[in-house]
Amino acid sequence: MTTAPIRLDIFSDPVCPWCYVGKANLDRALADHPDHPFLIQWHPFQLNPDMPAEGVSKRAYLEQKFGGKARVDAIQERLREVARAAGVDMDPDKPQRMPNTLNAHRLIHWAGIEGVQQAVVNDLMRAYWTEGRDIGDLPTLADIAGENGMDREATLRLLQSDADADDIAARDQDARHKGVNAVPTFLIAQQYVVSGAQPPETWGKVIVELMGRAQ
């Protein structure tokens, strides 16, 4: 018996390290349950919606936000430990810029229209956390689009315009009004909320339970 598709809406931001870890954990669970019922869609949530369009120095931003170098060093080391435990190749010190992610979210939206959203989200997170690329830079975003089968030049022209910018900002605000206040946040079947970077085992139990209900 085939399980009916179930929506899994994910609210995230590519510059959120917990979103990267959370995605890796979910991906492991999905790989372990290839007959899972989820239809996944990614939704915008900017951690720093007031970030300047050109971004800022990531290290300086974090030290100001968290209260100095020692505090940031401790946070970064904790992230490394969590990433290693999740099997994620992530260096929190690799990114040099803290970008405004509105344009990254526009790219994710367009990738969804073209059926390559999962791949683009993965590559955006890897580009930032593993390769240290500036995902606020328009040519970099266009490169990621092209690497996933999208038309690079057409995507760059869209990024250089205001196309869908207001829509993305409105969707971000709508998520906040509905109670999303941190990411990653997962909404299952438009009813059940799962917050945070849950381990693969938790997702495995969710998948098994959902598939059991459908039988």
pLDDT of residue 39: 97
User: Which pTM was predicted?
Assistant: 0.95
Q: Express each pLDDT in 127-165 by its tens digit.
A: 999 999 999 999 999 999 999 999 999 999 999 999 999
Q: What residues contact 11, with CB distance under 8 A and at least 6 apart? A: 43, 44, 45, 175, 180, 183, 184, 185, 186, 187
CATH of the domain at 101: 3.40.30.10
Q: Strand (E) positions, the chain?
A: 6-12, 38-44, 56-57, 97-98, 185-188, 192-195
**Tally of domains in the chain:** 1
Let me know if residue 162 belongs to a domain: yes
Q: Residue 191's domain spans which residues?
A: 6-20+49-213
Tokens 């970064």: give the residue.
Answer: 76
Helix (H) or strand (E) holding 146, with range, is helix 138-147
Q: Per-residue confidence at 72, pLDDT binned at 50, 70, 90?
A: very high
Let me know if residue 88 belongs to a domain: yes
Return the bridge partners of 98, or none: 56
Let me know if residue 137 belongs to a domain: yes
Q: Per-residue confidence at 215, pLDDT binned at 50, 70, 90?
A: low
Let me know if residue 28 belongs to a domain: no
Mean pLDDT of the chain: 95
Let me know if residue 37 belongs to a domain: no
Let me know if residue 33 belongs to a domain: no
Q: Express each pLDDT in 2-24 by its tens digit.
A: 678 999 999 999 999 999 999 99
Let me know if residue 38 belongs to a domain: no
| Residue 160 to residues 3, 97, 139, Cα–Cα distance (Å) | 42, 20, 10
Let me know if residue 168 belongs to a domain: yes
